[in-house]
Amino acid sequence: MSLEDKNGNFVARGYIGRQNKGLGWVLSRKEKEAIDESFFFNKIAAALGRRSRYFSDDQTTAFRIFNGEGDGIGGMSIDWYDGYCLINWYSLGIYSFKETIVEALSSMTAAKGIYEKKRFDSGGKYVPDDDFVKGERPDFPLLVKENGIRYAVYLNEGAMTGIFLDQRDVRRRLKDAYAKGKTVLNTFSYTGAFSVAAALGGAKKTVSVDLANRSLERTREQFELNGLGDEDREIVVDDVFKYFKKAEKRGLLFDVVVLDPPSFARSKDHVFSAPRDYGKLVSQAAALLEDGGVLLASTNCATIDMQRFKEMVKEGFRDAKMDFSVLEEHALPEDFKTCEEYRESSYLKVLFIKAARINRRRME
Residue 265 as a binder of ligand SAH (CB under 6 A): the answer is yes
Peptide bond into 138 cis (omega under 30): no
Asked if residue 194 binds ligand SAH (CB under 6 A), the reply is yes
Q: Are strands 142-146 and 132-135 parallel, antiparallel or unpaired?
A: unpaired
- If one counts every other C-beta atom within 10 angstroms of the C-beta of residue 26, the result is 16
CA separation for the pair 310, 220 (Å, rounded): 34
> Could you say whether residue 211 binds ligand SAH (CB under 6 A)?
yes
Q: Concatenated DSSP letters for 168-191?
A: HHHHHHIIIII-TT-EEEEES-TT
239 binds ligand SAH (CB under 6 A): yes
Q: How far is the CB of 41 from ligand SAH (least distance, A)?
A: 33
Select 84 or 188, whichever has its Cβ closest to ligand SAH. 188
| Residue 245 engages ligand SAH in binding (rule: CB under 6 A) | no
Distance CA 208, CA 230 (A): 12
Sole binder of ligand SAH in the list 91, 109, 167, 338 (CB under 6 A): 167
φ/ψ of residue 16, rounded to 5: -90, 130
Nearer to ligand SAH, 39 or 190 (CB): 190
210 binds ligand SAH (CB under 6 A): yes
Residue 6 CA: distances (Å) to CA of 3, 11, 13, 315: 10, 10, 15, 45
- Residues 102-141 binding ligand SAH (CB under 6 A) are none
CA 111 → CA 71, 83, 104, 226, distances in Å? Answer: 19, 5, 11, 26
CB of 200 to ligand SAH, least distance (A): 15
Q: Positive or negative, the Cα torsion across 65, 68, 72, 75? A: positive
Cβ(154)–Cβ(140) under 8 Å?
A: yes
Q: Does 267 bind ligand SAH (CB under 6 A)?
A: yes
Options 112, 180, 246, 270; binder of ligand SAH; rule CB under 6 A: 270
Residue 260's closest CA among 171, 157, 357? 171
List of residues 6+ apart from 7 with CB closer than 8 A: none
Of 126, 262, 327, 342, the one binding ligand SAH by CB under 6 A: 262
**Residue 296 touches ligand SAH, criterion: CB under 6 A:** no
Q: Which of residues 50-89 bind ligand SAH (CB under 6 A)?
A: none
Shortest Cβ distance from residue 33 to ligand SAH (Å)?
A: 39
- Residue placing its CB nearer to ligand SAH in the complex, 255 or 260: 260
Among 1, 127, 212, 358, binds ligand SAH (CB under 6 A): 212
In the complex, minimum distance from the CB of residue 243 to ligand SAH, in angstroms, rounded to a whole number: 7
Is 246 one of the binding residues for ligand SAH (CB under 6 A)? no
Under rule CB under 6 A, how many of the chain's residues touch ligand SAH? 20
240 binds ligand SAH (CB under 6 A): yes
Q: Which stretch binds ligand SAH (CB under 6 A): 205-213, 225-233, 301-309, 345-353?
A: 205-213
Residues whose CB falls within 8 Å of the CB of residue 87, separated by 6 or more in sequence, listed in order: 76, 77, 78, 98, 101, 102, 105, 114, 115, 116, 117, 133
Q: For residue 333, give Cα distances in angstroms to 77, 144, 171, 197, 337.
A: 15, 18, 11, 17, 8
Among 15, 80, 188, 317, binds ligand SAH (CB under 6 A): 188
- Interface ranges with ligand SAH (CB under 6 A): 164, 167, 188-191, 193-194, 210-212, 215, 239-241, 260, 262, 265, 267, 270
